[in-house]
Structure 1
Amino acid sequence: MHSIPLTPELLRGALDLERTAHGLLPHRLPARARAQCTDPQLALAESQPSGVRLVFRTRATTVELDTLPTKRVYVGAPPRPEGLYDLLVDGRPAGSASVAGGHTLTIDLATGTAEHRPGPVGTVRFTGLPEAAKVVEIWLPYDETTELVALRTDAPVEPVPDPGGKVWLHHGSSVSHGSVAASPTTTWPALAASLGGVQLINLGLGGGALLDPFTARTLRDTPADLISVKLGINVVNTDLMRLRAFGPAVHGFLDTIRDGHPDTPLLVVSPILCPMHEDTPGPSLMDVAALSEGRLRFRAAGDPAEKASGKLTLGVIREELSRIVRERAAEDPHLNYLDGRDLYGEADLGELPLPDGLHPDAAAHRRIGERFAALAFTPGGPFGKSAA
């Protein structure tokens, strides 16, 4: 077996790479952005490599990747499934596998505490690959912080030159991050990117789509041909701001993106349907009764009457985002709006309910990805002409 150096040329989808005691840790926010916020939830989310993949050309029939994942355990909740590594060969699915071992992060949602327990390096191994020269992609688990330790193959590898085509930069909440998708290539942004024929950079941050200026600057400074921002649900989840602050914050967020991408197609997407917050403000809190039964579920802790004092609901946010985009589009012809309920709405809820009240499941991710591709990337869509 050949030992292959883990170099930046082999990685796509990460915005920063940190050298650690064990190897290479991909980040989805640059160091300067990470230094401006010490929120542990954000630190966890941005270090989970949603959309990050190893890409190389080789004749190898066996590929081994040593990693050190961080796996989460929620006190009182059912065990989480192991994170999956998806293998693509020349763009086609060719297998999935998990890594045993790794660190364990035990989180008590009721108290907000977390305990980190160190663990061993593990190995994911793919065998029986075609002997011909081919492009191999290994998509990392979207919801496990993953340090890359070593790569081995039974034939030499070389980096794949820039494939050309369009780069789609997307920002959103845990729904965009992956929530409970089946695997890293089946999160809705990964599916939509595949269907649209574009290269994905996924800045979906679980719990972290909060109109932070450092996130806007990251979007501003990242080269991209297409940009989308899916905004709203985390602002309600965290009860972060009132209506008076929300509108100007959205304007500022979009202004900053436009400083670096003045003419890039920019799509603002409002939240998908989430019944508990359609007319009830946040915050979102753990449903303790459900947890006592071993079920993970959330509830809206606000009061609908509080809308009168400026507290935000998803209905209010959609109205604001629609208005802001409509007004800005008069001077920005490359700016568009998409109502998230066109991706997942009332009819979908009956067929594919949200398992925990907030997050779509694997089947819903597929539906959202297919619909986004049909609405955004096809001719006549906001990305259609640019993605062609």
Structure 2
Amino acid sequence: MNSPPSDVPVRREVSEAPWTTTPIDAHLVRGALELERTALGVLPHRLPARARTQFPDEYLAMVESQPSGVRLAFRTRATTIELDALRTRTVYRGAPVPPDGAYDLVVDGVLAGRASVTGGNVRTIDLATQSAVLSPGPAGTVRFTDLPAGRKDIEIWLPHTEVTELIALRTDAPVEATGDRGRRVWLHHGSSISHGSTAERPMAIWPAIAAARGGVELINLGFGGNALLDPFTARAMRDTPADLISVKIGINLVNLDLMRLRAFAPAVHGFLDTIRDGHPTTPLLVVSPILCPLQEDTPGPLAPEFDGGKVTFRATGDPSDPTRLTLTVIRDELARILAARATEDPNLHHLDGRSLYGDPDFAELPLPDGLHPDSAGHRRIGERFADWAFDDGGPFATAGS
């Protein structure tokens, strides 16, 4: 249902039907908090402009503009769809070049195609120094053909690990926005695991898997390396309409050795208080870290290691220092904090991340780089989360179930 993309967005095969070019705007884009107008088109952002002015970190600027969970959604009779886009790929110096990002095509709720865009910019990052060099490249076109005839609902999930500037949407029949489908909105925040950095395609990240099983609309604020209890993220969540909210806290705080134990509890309280300012009674689920033997009892910071082109990580902190954060310490603290808050907040819930991925899972599906699950791990986490959260009796169950 797709053919290889071309290098130049203005080149396309001739269709017997007249082409319709539809402006890409907020009516067609789901999962983004804001669209930035650019010289070429629009750039989806997962943090609003005000938040983006409050962090100087280039890495966070990159990952928040990688459109994890962002998709185009529309209704059409078209049998051919073209999307022009300028991608920015991320390559880590000394590591293998990652595969091309994928665009997942969904027709009437069923995954029906997959394609990629060629060309684009390349950002090369040195993990040791966090310095980056950008090499510019041309835009490309992703093309889906031979779609079924008749009126249908289309979703195109954007590559979750490539910054994607959307330039033009062309179809061989008119397009209309699908509007509100009556689904609840699930707003989730987490680390690179929630971002889906090692999943093979955008719908294979665990939040997307869970959202599909739960029948909800996903807004994914999973930011690689940046689930850090930042106040601007809490404010963005406070101001975003949502029916369900979850926050996965812990791994990045340990990875970066960002704070000591004394600062952790007040930071958690402040983050949750800010969310509650905008969502006082919304079901709010806090998830502690999944199992990661690398940092269960050893603090950060992490140091990357390269072995034959494979990237792994090593924890370098002092495990004898009682002021340092480890995953074990964070889980214990979160359990204590949430138990105390729940006495006055009946809509606050807690899930130990090891119930999503624990010791037996690590034995069966080890973390390839010691830190991130692969696509099979994402599927297990997403399915378990959905079964726990959305099923009868879960915190995200529908009313009356």
User: Is 1:51 paired with 2:69?
Assistant: yes
User: Is 1:285 paired with 2:303?
Assistant: yes
1:186 corresponds in structure 2 to 204
Give the structure with the larger helix fraction: 1
User: Is 1:84 paired with 2:84?
Assistant: no
User: Is 1:172 paired with 2:190?
Assistant: yes
Write the deviation string for residues 189-211 of structure 1: whole angstroms up to 9, x where unpaired: 00000000111000001111000
1:66 corresponds in structure 2 to 84
> 1:4: Cα distance to partner?
1.3
364, 375, 378: which one pairs with 2:377? 364
2:57 corresponds in structure 1 to 39
8 Å CA contact 1:29–1:46 kept in 2: the answer is: yes
349, 361, 364: which one pairs with 1:351? 364
Structure 1 residues 189 and 315, CA, compared in 2 at 3 Å: closer, same or farther?
same
1:299 corresponds in structure 2 to 314
Write the deviation string for residues 44-81 of structure 1: whole angstroms up to 9, x where unpaired: 11000000000000000000000000011111111101
Cα distance in 2 for partners of 1:349, 1:81 equals 25
Cα distance in 2 for partners of 1:320, 1:186 equals 31
| Aligned positions of 1:371-386 closer than 5 A | 371-386=384-399
> 1:386: Cα distance to partner?
4.5
Write the deviation string for residues 194-237 of structure 1: whole angstroms up to 9, x where unpaired: 00011100000111100000000011000000000000001011
Cα distance in 2 for partners of 1:387, 1:248 equals 35
> 1:112: Cα distance to partner?
2.2
8 Å CA contact 1:177–1:187 kept in 2: the answer is: yes
313, 328, 341: which one pairs with 1:315? 328
Cα distance in 1 for partners of 2:66, 2:356 equals 24
Cα distance in 2 for partners of 1:6, 1:295 equals 39
- Flag structure 1 segments of 5+ consecutive residues without an equivalent: none
- Flag structure 2 segments of 5+ consecutive residues without an equivalent: 1-18
Cα distance in 2 for partners of 1:65, 1:217 equals 33
Normalising by structure 2, report the TM-score: 0.94
> 1:387: Cα distance to partner?
9.4
> 1:110: Cα distance to partner?
2.4
| Aligned positions of 1:1-388 closer than 5 A | 1-287=19-305, 291-306=306-321, 308=322, 310-386=323-399
Query: Runs of 4 or more off by more than 4 Å in structure 1?
Result: none
> 1:313: Cα distance to partner?
0.1
Cα distance in 1 for partners of 2:105, 2:90 equals 23
> 1:111: Cα distance to partner?
2.8
SS of 1:170's equivalent in the other structure is: strand
Cα distance in 2 for partners of 1:216, 1:387 equals 30
8 Å CA contact 1:50–1:184 kept in 2: the answer is: yes
Cα distance in 1 for partners of 2:61, 2:400 equals 32
Structure 1 residues 386 and 76, CA, compared in 2 at 3 Å: closer, same or farther?
farther
Cα distance in 1 for partners of 2:117, 2:229 equals 34
Normalising by structure 1, report the TM-score: 0.97
> 1:185: Cα distance to partner?
0.8
Cα distance in 1 for partners of 2:62, 2:222 equals 12
Cα distance in 2 for partners of 1:305, 1:40 equals 33
2:5 corresponds in structure 1 to none
Q: Give the root-mean-square deviation of aligned CA atoms.
A: 0.9
> 1:292: Cα distance to partner?
4.4
Cα distance in 1 for partners of 2:267, 2:367 equals 29
Structure 1 residues 186 and 292, CA, compared in 2 at 3 Å: closer, same or farther?
closer
SS of 2:106's equivalent in the other structure is: strand
The number of aligned residues is 383
Q: Percentage identity across aligned positions?
A: 68
8 Å CA contact 2:25–2:35 kept in 1: the answer is: no
